Structure 1
């Protein structure tokens, strides 16, 4: 007679199968057991694409990587700052600000993509 291995849910205390990732009673994720981690799938997102997109259109690299709110913040913030700066700065200074924001956005996209690849 073979016995199935079981463990207790760390949240509700229910007895659950040893290899279950979620408790069927309370739907709480269970702690990962060494050697039992699921295979991680490759995201398919390329770092260089994210960087180029972010440099061309501020925030587009973040959007490509799935960081929608961050992308909106970069794009909207750059656009808003450009409008505000247009009242007191020259066109060259505003263009310089745009280039700086594009570089910051590209660097941020690089950081996000690198973190996502390391977690895979």
Structure 2
């Protein structure tokens, strides 16, 4: 006696996964569709692709506010984070001198903050691929920044002037 398999749903037009009849949301790719007739459209992506996670824009902004490059590391942009951090350190510790030192100091900080927010928005709108986790440099940089702050509170060294070179918000607060 032959058994007949009956399909329990239709294919999602975005990822090709099976969607039960009457549903307007794909549980695999997390996309909504409004018309049931869309469900038999040919798929352009592999059925095993799915969204791993999204980025919280406010976390990215807070990290970028604390230290230049941290928001990029959080969004998985390791090379951008390194570029922002090295550029900021070069300006902050006078490796590069120019008459626009203060403008570049705050400019790099604000551009890094804006880029981290923009990148998180692009990740959340699925306009840019995301591997599902932050760069490992994020945790290393947070440890270094935490060590600097702990040393300051325990010993008074480094001074606030030095902290202002590492943390742009401290320099802004000091005036």
Instruction: State TM-score, norm by structure 1.
Output: 0.58
Aligned to 1:115: 122
Q: Deviations over 1:18-66 (max 9, x none)?
A: x9xxxxxxxxxxxx81597556335242101111211221111000111
Q: Deviations over 1:55-100 (max 9, x none)?
A: 2211110001111011000001111233212xx54xxx63443222
- Taking CA–CA contacts closer than 8 Å with sequence separation of 6 or more, which of the two structures ends up with the larger relative contact order? 1
Aligned to 1:100: 107
**Aligned Cα root-mean-square deviation (Å):** 3.3
Pair 1:72 & 2:82 matched: yes
Matches within 5 A, 1:34-73: 37-38=47-48, 40-41=50-51, 43-73=53-83
Instruction: State TM-score, norm by structure 2.
Output: 0.42
Q: Which runs of 5+ in 1 are unaligned?
A: 3-18, 20-31
Q: Which runs of 5+ in 2 are unaligned?
A: 5-16, 18-41, 128-175
